[in-house]
Amino acid sequence: MEKLEKLYEGKAKQLFATDDPEVLWVEYKNSATAGDGEKKEDFAGKGRLNNRITTLVFDLLAKRGIPSHLVKRVGDTAQLVRKMDMFPLEIVLRNTAAGHFCSRLGVEEGIDFDEPVLEYFMKNDELHDPFVNDDDLVVLHVCTRQDLAEIAPLAKRINEALIDIFAKIDVKLVDFKIEMGRTSDGTLLLGDEITPDSCRLWDQRDHSGKVEHLDKDLFRRDLGDIIPAYEEIERRLSELAASEGIAID
């Protein structure tokens, strides 16, 4: 597969065309950002780790009947994905109160919810990715009622599967954000990435009740180096994938 012209560059990834019109080339970057990009730093090895973690998570989800746009990983920082028409939408699932939910609603961090909370945020840097509801999305033509009727149950299935995956490696899935899109034949698929950049992951191995972050909050809150945490997630996911018979290259 030949990598062609660059189509897009975001905070953490670059997107390239390939010689197959239905396949794109994703290149993961070493940069980490927080606060709408106001805080930024490069971490050697981060792109490799996020590429590897996303591949592992998508493979583990596929084994649980949830396909994604991933075709295959093709290098330390690169993967091939199916081309999709992406919804300009961040889909957030929350299992425990943390982050923006707490600051927005005055809730104490760490409270487990009786049921998952599904939220939508429009991808718009100028408006700082505003929180929106179903009606907002429909009247703004971001998606249709039918789209939402497919997106919401798929997001909840992904949440259930991810809770199981991370529980198996002694990690609590606090919350996460994902993106979805449609392929040329109209199939709705999980896209983008699932990494410690896009999830809050709390270590459940014995730390005497202290929350140990294995996610980008280490960078957001100046709690420590993210790389050892990302390496730990990659190591545990690799062990889980191997135990489930998923080939690890």
pTM: 0.95
Between 123 and 211, whose confidence is greater? Answer: 123
46-to-42, 61, 130, 178 alpha-carbon distances in Å: 8, 22, 28, 19
CATH number at residue 43: 3.30.200.20
- Tell me the average pLDDT across 20-36: 94
Q: Would 199 be classed as within a structural domain? A: yes
Rounded Cα distance, 72 and 107, in Å? 40
Q: What is the pLDDT of residue 38?
A: 80
Do 77 and 156 share a domain, yes or no?
no
Do 76 and 44 share a domain, yes or no?
yes
pLDDT > 90 fraction of the chain, expressed in percent and rounded: 92
Angle of helix 46-63 versus helix 145-167 axis, rounded to 10: 100
- The first and second tokens of residue 70, run together, are 């991933």
- The first and second tokens of residue 248, run together, are 């690890």
Q: Would 235 be classed as within a structural domain? A: no
Residue 247 pLDDT class (50, 70, 90 cuts): confident
CATH number at residue 214: 3.30.470.20
Regarding beta strands 112-122 and 199-203, do their DSSP bridges make them parallel or antiparallel, or are they unpaired? Answer: unpaired
Between 125 and 135, whose confidence is greater? Answer: 135
Do 66 and 77 share a domain, yes or no?
yes
- Tell me the average pLDDT across 202-206: 90
Query: Domain limits at 183?
Result: 85-226
Rounded Cα distance, 68 and 153, in Å? 15
Rounded Cα distance, 211 and 96, in Å? 13
Lowest mean pLDDT, pick from 114-118, 203-207, 214-218, 221-225: 203-207
Q: Would 123 be classed as within a structural domain? A: yes
Do 68 and 93 share a domain, yes or no?
no
